[in-house]
């Protein structure tokens, strides 16, 4: 285990101070708690739970009796391995520490091996808490994002379901007769229309009303589209 890297020790009034390996908790200050609070403050409101741990080859910093401080320079992403600069006013020291930041959140995993072309149902997927830093880009985090969609490639059991591995099923075809639901702040009316484009749930398509006007509408389900005013 490598010693905590002390860049400077300013107070010569404390000879023999045991620096490396002295856990911060010994003085009532938990560095892991302080670092976690620092990361949470930097990330703001995020859809995951922040967990900070120290890799096995890093030693915990020495105790800090007064005004501990934490800084990370040029940091854009707060997940994964990161280097922090830690400092203390009493005893006076400054050093660096590498920590691992995990963002724990629920992700959608396959409940069984799935072939390409499977329309996902509730028995096919499940929610599992995982570290987002280790998950693929675009991992689905809610069942509603995947149910009813079709796999575009095979998935092994317990594989993370990424949104780019799914395709939406077309529920409206060009020429289909539609119910057009027009929704305002305090009203809702319905009209007849015809689809001018095919579309899947949640997609925008062009539709034609009975009076000949063409408008954009959002596909809700088979035979139903919404226009929000």
- Taking residues 64-77, what's their average pLDDT? 79
Residue range 148-185, pLDDT digits in tens: 889 999 999 999 999 988 987 888 999 999 999 998 88
Residue 217, pLDDT score: 94
Identify the pLDDT of residue 19. 34
The pLDDT, as a whole number, for residue 215 is: 93
* Nearest partner of 38 among 92, 97, 91, 125, judged by Cα: 97
pLDDT of residue 149: 87
Region 79-96 average pLDDT: 89
> Once rounded to an integer, what is the mean pLDDT over residues 57-81?
80
Gyration radius of the chain's alpha carbons: 27
More confident residue, 28 or 166: 166
pTM, 2 dp: 0.59
Exposure string of 168-195, with b = 16+ CB inside 10 Å and e = fewer, is: eeebbeeebebebbbeeeeeeeeeebeb
pLDDT in tens, 113-127: 999 999 899 999 999
Check whether 20 has a pLDDT greater than 50.
no
pLDDT, tens digit, for every residue of 129-151?
999 889 988 899 998 888 888 99
**Average pLDDT of the chain?**
83
Q: Which residue has the higher pLDDT, 91 or 157?
A: 157
Residue 157 CA: distances (Å) to CA of 128, 136, 149, 160, 161: 13, 16, 18, 9, 10
Q: Is pLDDT above 70 for 25? A: no
């Amino acid at each position: 285990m490598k010693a905590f890297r002390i860049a400077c020790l300013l107070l010569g009034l404390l000879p023999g101070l045991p620096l490396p390996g002295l856990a911060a908790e010994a003085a009532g200050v938990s560095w892991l708690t302080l670092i976690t609070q620092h990361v949470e403050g930097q990330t703001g409101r995020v859809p995951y739970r922040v967990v900070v741990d120290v890799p096995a080859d890093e030693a915990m910093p020495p105790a800090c009796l007064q005004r501990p401080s934490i800084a990370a320079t040029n940091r854009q992403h707060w997940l994964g391995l990161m280097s922090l600069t830690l400092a203390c006013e009493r005893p006076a020291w400054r050093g660096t520490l590498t920590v691992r930041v995990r963002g724990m959140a629920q992700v959608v995993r396959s409940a069984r091996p799935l072939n390409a072309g499977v329309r996902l149902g509730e028995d096919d997927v499940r929610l599992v808490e995982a570290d987002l830093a280790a998950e693929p880009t675009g991992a689905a985090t809610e069942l509603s994002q995947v149910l009813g969609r079709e796999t575009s490639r095979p998935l092994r059991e317990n594989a993370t379901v990424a949104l780019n591995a799914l395709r939406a099923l077309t529920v409206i075809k060009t020429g289909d007769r539609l119910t057009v639901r027009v929704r305002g702040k305090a009203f809702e009316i319905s009209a007849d229309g015809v689809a001018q484009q095919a579309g899947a749930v949640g997609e925008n398509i062009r539709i034609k009303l009975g009076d000949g006007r063409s408008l954009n509408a959002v596909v809700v389900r088979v035979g139903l589209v919404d226009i929000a005013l």
